[in-house]
Structure 1
Amino acid sequence: GNFMLAHDYEDFPSDIFTVMMGAGATVTVGDSSTGNQTTYSCTDFLNADMTTKVLISMQIPFAAQQETMMTYKVSERHENAHAYVNASFRMTVDSTLTVTGTPTLAFGGIRAHACRATQTENYLVGKVLSNQNTLTTACNLMASELIPDSGPGDTKYRSQLSVNFFYKFYLSLLPNLPSSLASAATPFERPISTGEINYDTDPIEYPVSEYMPKIDAILQTSGEAHYADDTPVVQGTLYAAFVTSTQASADIESIDPSVALGMPGVVDFVSASDIPGENNVDTNVGVPAAYVEPLFASTSVVYYNQPIGLIVADSQSHADEAAKFVAVKYSNIQTPIVTIQDAINANSFFPEPTPFLSVNTITSGDVETGFSSSDQVFEGVVESPSQYHFHMETHQCVVAPEEDGRLVMHISTQWPASVQSLVSRVLAMPLSRITVGLKRTGGGYGAKILRSGIVGCAASVAAHKLNRPVRLIMNLNQNMEIQGKRHPYLTTYKIGVLNSGKVQALQLMYYSNGGATYDASMGSMNMALTTADNTYYFPNFSASGKCCRTNLPSNTYTRAPGCLP
């Protein structure tokens, strides 16, 4: 698979391919149309036509006597990152430090595909490595023949890396290196990280200020802590997956789950028509009807990947696969409003119908007076982008109906009471018949204050309808696509200063990208406004804001919401 990626995609810097090229590996390719097999070197394989062909095997030769092979790589991170440059070197050197045979110097990240420094290889044949001139000439020759194409990383940096790798390899072949050079030849091994915290406390004040380990520390660091998805699977458990919209702003003409319902393991499709109570998961009071967030969209969609329903099946893989085959037809498809500037141009802002759903203006003094008394007045724009929470535990919920119709739920949330209230509303069920529990949350950072209600309500509707336990464990893709992120902001400013540098007046206008529904937009905006002056005193100050409505998943609280850089 890795070899075929290197064959098909010029921008794929395969470490494995470069290593195998350096090792002198060959690959055998079979032609399904003729039955013939052909063996290629790594270089020839890159140019082979693989139509109707499949890679059958790889042959890696044994190392020869006195042969040394080393590999190198520099990337953004030590793990799980493509290389800026990688290299694989193989060379046979006898007891007199003379190069015997032709060495192999393979590089990735220099050209579109992995390549070899053939001129340098040919030069080194028969050369004595202890001769300083050999090293100098080889490095200069390599620098001249390895001219990097455009790609990730600075071209000069990548060119120097290739020479540096060769220099390290060259030194590793020389015996009795002086200490000043030994570190260049020896791969650096980072020791296991350690750390300690020292507390300056006064025993007289104990238990105040007394050091105590976190209660869950051992369980969490040992991996023994249980989360929602660790709830034991009981007999009859079903697995759910969201069916989401493929348009960002459109009316729904029809929803046809028939193909999905005929797929292996599928039990049911749950939609808005199965909700016994209100199709409403909004946590705010006084939201105008046109802005209410539904659990399942039924007449229109207002963002891409908006939940339309659930596929419930006998396994997670069956549910995930079948969810792709629910056919939804759309009409009145509109160009989505995506950015803050799009919303400003379209005059798309959330109304402020109640004191709890409104934005306060912060003022002190008179900014116009301050500007008129300033020697210099400047204006500009500052933008702060979005940010995904990246909690290790995604949104997830396990709901089980009791024999008397009560529901017991284990959910990853930062606000269990809100989830209970929303489920009560959606199912038209008394709060006393809904138990919401959690042992711990595997990271929230604000994302699980308001957005976990969607997951809890969806799983509850399915469990209530089918009278069976339902697990709704969102994968990372859906967690990023359906749930909101940190609010992006665009702020215009006007500032008046004296020639001495003292600020006379500051006027700020904040615009946030709230997404499709209210969620936490008003609260985050008000927090932004109340912290806008930071620790500074401005004799004349004004900060106001507007929350933009766009066709994105509703953005939500994120750690230190509204506190902008």
Structure 2
Amino acid sequence: MRKLIQPAGSNTQGSTVGKSRIHESAIRHVTGSAQYVDDQVLPLNTAYAAVGISEHTKGDINSIDLDDVRSSEGVIDVITIDDVPGHTDIAPVFTGDPVLADKRIVFHGQPVFAVLATSVRLARQAAQKATINISPQQPVLSTDSAHEAEEFVRPAHTMQRGDANKTLSQASQRIQGEIAIGGQEHMYLEGQVSVAVPQEQDRMLIYTSSQHPSEVQKLVAEVLGIKLHKVTVDMRRMGGGFGGKETQAAQWACIAALLAARNRIAVKIRLPRMQDMMVTGKRHPFLNRFDVSFNQHGRITATNIQINGDCGHSADLSDAIVDRAMFHADNSYHLGDCHIVGHRCRTNTVSHTAFRGFGGPQGMMVAEAMIEKIARRLDLDPLAVRKINFYDNEERNFTQYGMKIEHNILPDLVARLETSSDYWARREAITQYNKNSPVLKKGLALTPVKFGISFTAKHLNQAGALVHVYTDGSVQVNHGGTEMGQGLHTKIGQIAANEFGISLDDIEVTATRTDKVPNTSPTAASSGTDINGKAVQNACIEIRNRLSEFYLKSLGLSKDLLTDVVFNHHQVSIENHQISFLELVQQAYIGRVSLSTSGFYKTPKIHYDRATGKGRPFFYFAYGASCSEVTVDTLTGECMVERVDILHDVGTSLNPAIDIGQIEGGFIQGMGWLTNEDLRWDDKGRLISNNPATYKIPAVGDTPKIFNVELYPDPNPEDSIYHSKAVGEPPLMLAMSVWCAIKDSISSLSEYRLDADLPAPATAENILMACNKIRRALESQ
């Protein structure tokens, strides 16, 4: 059931923003007419690339024999790292990501060479024929092993407040614990794909499925040894990204560009699904440990938290990802005196990368694990412990990194959901049910979300846009964000239509292109609408002001009335004067008024000092809460999610239908991460959950039988676009209520006295083991 509660304060001049509008490509998605990179009409004589990968996990490359590859049917060219004319390292921030293996192997499946052939089949067949001689070495495959070997991709970072160790040592109530949190495969519908088309002289045109076209532009230019202005990247839409195409789409574009430049023909590369899963990074697995003290009411007085991110073989974005885990280790709770250290562990697996939530979910799980353990120790309902630890508006209102919690709506939001979900009556009924049901056990949990919105790297919090108004009254918009199915272009179109007071049908949002808007940030960190929407709005305002000045002058009115000019319903009016938008545009064109401009926006207020571990890294927080009910078969570990109630904060919703869709999708994806999505590597470092048959994502049948989603009616107090809030990442963490509800059902075996030792994901196997562990504990008492 969807409840569309529209917050007050929406709208400015037009009437497009704040209404549910269909996704701009929805019909094309359904009918199959939406154009993805794989649908591109290719130039004549386009050739196809494939990569040859390592069958070893770690070792030195002694020799690479590619003779059989070169002589294979249809082969045009073969390249290794030695054939790269420019930079060979394509790491996004720190070094360590060669475009092809450079003298050593650091993970199983690492691309060693690339082959170009006349067809996809022939390229992939040829790639199997190499002989790669490697001196194997012992790989590092866990965070504990990384600590023992002192293998880290970046130095540790610390945040602290007060003297946590002193407070812990003096506490009467104190517990320790750890939680293992698995990674997650992005499983985008559209795999990694790029097309490189050589242009005149040394220019290159790239079509790519990437969340970061400007980074693709930069890296392609660097590997080719040319300037950025010679490379144009075009990105119309992705079939899903979720972070997996923020940095790791660049490698395939670079390989295609290298082969295209060498052979002066268009080159396409599309990874087969199994290889895609093997050679691209995942959500980081984490192993987090905590030591927490609290009073008799369950209020936390001190915490010592160790966060260990499994980064894979290189840094990629791991420094910022582990930082965000540290920023969110409090979730919604004041941690008292605290000490938090984050380790970036190097292991010999694929380099893990961005994934929806960017480390935040793994940090929040520590907070929820602590709350659950405290509640069972004190024989309290976990919701009561959660509520007593919420940030308040008095003394307990600063985070561990020194940011003040302002406009804290969470207590009210949780109270509303507590009532609407009928939490306490259901708690009583479930407790009674469990007393009379020896095998099937129900669980209930209500968990909060507080998620910071902004890139943790300050310089990424900027965006540009380009807006053209044509003489027929239509408008074309280009911006730096990328569309991956989340509805960004739809919201951008609504913003432009709203500013000019015209219909959404008169707005065309074009493909993201580096030759239209330069130096763009990735579409990530839930910031797509926030920053690009503001940039588009600023461009529209500039053109609107030019039109208003022209109109006032034509009427002989003062420029001082500029802000009184109203654009609405395809009309422009001031006092008793009115003209159609189309007529005004045509007159302005005749009057030589520029009808095109660029827009720019940078997020205000944000700063963070890594030396002190203090600052304001986020512009604002998005809040939410979810209440989940599950049924667990304690003899098999099978789990069914029966009902979910969500109340989520999106500020003033720009498009309630799209926002609710994002909440529903984010929740289900988060539920998959915490329940049945189980990444597995063998003891040699080979990914064995490498295809849809061995890696299970949620299906339609996993959708909760009852699924209520409601928007919390409160505008963003910060000056975001129309006082909306980001909705891309925060909903994923609402799924923590499912994990906590499963723990609740298992705990009922001990009449809620023992906390279930349940890692994530809570697969049937892990649930059964947790049940058996509690049974053994009861038998030993």
Using the size of structure 2 for normalisation, the TM-score is 0.45
Q: How far apart, in 1, do the equivalents of 2:356 and 2:176 lie? A: 29
2:84 aligned residue: 275
> What is the CA-CA distance between 1:201 and the residue it aligns to?
7.4
2:342 aligned residue: 545
Report the residue type matching 2:239 in the other structure. G
Q: How far apart, in 1, do the equivalents of 2:49 and 2:330 lie? A: 47
Say if 2:213 is the partner of 1:213. Answer: no
Say if 2:188 is the partner of 1:386. Answer: no
Say if 2:46 is the partner of 1:249. Answer: no
Displaced runs of 4 or more, over 6 A: 201-204
Aligned pairs for 1:173-322 within 5 A: 198=4, 200=6, 205=11, 206-285=15-94, 287=95, 292-322=96-126
Report the residue type matching 2:143 in the other structure. I
Aligned pairs for 1:119-158 within 5 A: none
SS of alignment partner, residue 547 of structure 1? strand
Say if 2:209 is the partner of 1:397. Answer: no
Q: How far apart, in 2, do the equivalents of 1:370 and 1:298 lie? A: 50
Aligned partner (choices 299, 319, 324) of residue 527 of structure 1: 324
SS of alignment partner, residue 51 of structure 2? strand
Say if 2:127 is the partner of 1:337. Answer: no
Aligned partner (choices 357, 362, 365) of residue 560 of structure 1: 357
2:269 aligned residue: 472
Q: Deviations over 1:480-523 (max 9, x none)?
A: 00000000000111011233433221110001110011101111
Q: Which has the higher mean CA deviation after the structures are superposed, 503-512 or 260-269? A: 260-269
1:443 aligned residue: 240
Q: How far apart, in 1, do the equivalents of 2:31 and 2:246 lie? A: 27
Report the residue type matching 2:132 in the other structure. V
Report the residue type matching 1:294 in the other structure. P
Q: How far apart, in 2, do the equivalents of 1:342 and 1:548 lie? A: 9
> What is the CA-CA distance between 1:543 and the residue it aligns to?
1.1
> What is the CA-CA distance between 1:351 and the residue it aligns to?
3.6
- Return 5+ residue gaps in structure 1 as ranges: 1-194, 353-358
Q: How far apart, in 1, do the equivalents of 2:90 and 2:43 lie? A: 28
2:149 aligned residue: 346
Equivalent residues of 1:373, 1:504 under 8 A apart? no
Q: How far apart, in 2, do the equivalents of 1:557 and 1:493 lie? A: 24
Structure possessing the higher radius of gyration over alpha carbons: 1
Q: How far apart, in 1, do the equivalents of 2:299 and 2:175 lie? A: 13
> What is the CA-CA distance between 1:342 and the residue it aligns to?
2.1
1:327 aligned residue: 131
> What is the CA-CA distance between 1:372 and the residue it aligns to?
2.8
Equivalent residues of 2:55, 2:108 under 8 A apart? yes
- When residues 262 and 547 of structure 1 are mapped into structure 2, their CA distance, relative to the original with a 3 A threshold, is same
Q: Deviations over 1:8-39 (max 9, x none)?
A: xxxxxxxxxxxxxxxxxxxxxxxxxxxxxxxx
Q: How far apart, in 2, do the equivalents of 1:372 and 1:345 lie? A: 27
> What is the CA-CA distance between 1:207 and the residue it aligns to?
3.1
- When residues 202 and 211 of structure 1 are mapped into structure 2, their CA distance, relative to the original with a 3 A threshold, is farther
Say if 2:289 is the partner of 1:492. Answer: yes
2:309 aligned residue: 512
Q: How far apart, in 2, do the equivalents of 1:495 and 1:204 lie? A: 43
Equivalent residues of 2:153, 2:313 under 8 A apart? no
> What is the CA-CA distance between 1:323 and the residue it aligns to?
0.4
Q: How far apart, in 1, do the equivalents of 2:233 and 2:5 lie? A: 38
Q: How far apart, in 1, do the equivalents of 2:7 and 2:171 lie? A: 51
Q: Select the structure with the greater relative contact order (CA < 8 A; seq sep ≥ 6).
A: 2
Q: Which has the higher mean CA deviation after the structures are superposed, 213-222 or 250-259? A: 213-222
Q: How far apart, in 2, do the equivalents of 1:492 and 1:204 lie? A: 44
Q: How far apart, in 1, do the equivalents of 2:35 and 2:348 lie? A: 36
Q: Which has the higher mean CA deviation after the structures are superposed, 338-347 or 311-320? A: 338-347
Q: How far apart, in 1, do the equivalents of 2:3 and 2:32 lie? A: 22
- Return 5+ residue gaps in structure 2 as ranges: 366-781
> What is the CA-CA distance between 1:212 and the residue it aligns to?
2.1
SS of alignment partner, residue 153 of structure 2? coil
SS of alignment partner, residue 246 of structure 1? coil
1:157 aligned residue: none
SS of alignment partner, residue 259 of structure 2? helix
> What is the CA-CA distance between 1:264 and the residue it aligns to?
1.3
> What is the CA-CA distance between 1:457 and the residue it aligns to?
0.7
Identity %: 28
Equivalent residues of 2:77, 2:115 under 8 A apart? yes
- When residues 511 and 276 of structure 1 are mapped into structure 2, their CA distance, relative to the original with a 3 A threshold, is same
Report the residue type matching 1:338 in the other structure. L
Q: How far apart, in 1, do the equivalents of 2:223 and 2:137 lie? A: 29
Equivalent residues of 2:157, 2:343 under 8 A apart? no
- When residues 391 and 328 of structure 1 are mapped into structure 2, their CA distance, relative to the original with a 3 A threshold, is same
- Root-mean-square deviation (CA, aligned residues, Å) is 1.8
> What is the CA-CA distance between 1:419 and the residue it aligns to?
0.5
Equivalent residues of 1:267, 1:312 under 8 A apart? yes
Equivalent residues of 1:202, 1:209 under 8 A apart? no
Structure in which a larger fraction of residues adopt helix: 2
Using the size of structure 1 for normalisation, the TM-score is 0.61
Aligned length: 359
Q: Which has the higher mean CA deviation after the structures are superposed, 467-476 or 197-206? A: 197-206
Report the residue type matching 2:57 in the other structure. A
- When residues 548 and 407 of structure 1 are mapped into structure 2, their CA distance, relative to the original with a 3 A threshold, is same
Equivalent residues of 2:290, 2:303 under 8 A apart? yes
> What is the CA-CA distance between 1:223 and the residue it aligns to?
1.3
Q: How far apart, in 2, do the equivalents of 1:201 and 1:509 lie? A: 40
Q: How far apart, in 2, do the equivalents of 1:530 and 1:202 lie? A: 31
Report the residue type matching 2:179 in the other structure. V
1:367 aligned residue: 164
> What is the CA-CA distance between 1:365 and the residue it aligns to?
1.7
Q: How far apart, in 1, do the equivalents of 2:282 and 2:207 lie? A: 24
> What is the CA-CA distance between 1:200 and the residue it aligns to?
4.4
1:165 aligned residue: none
- When residues 222 and 198 of structure 1 are mapped into structure 2, their CA distance, relative to the original with a 3 A threshold, is farther
- When residues 468 and 542 of structure 1 are mapped into structure 2, their CA distance, relative to the original with a 3 A threshold, is same
Equivalent residues of 2:300, 2:334 under 8 A apart? no
Report the residue type matching 1:266 in the other structure. V
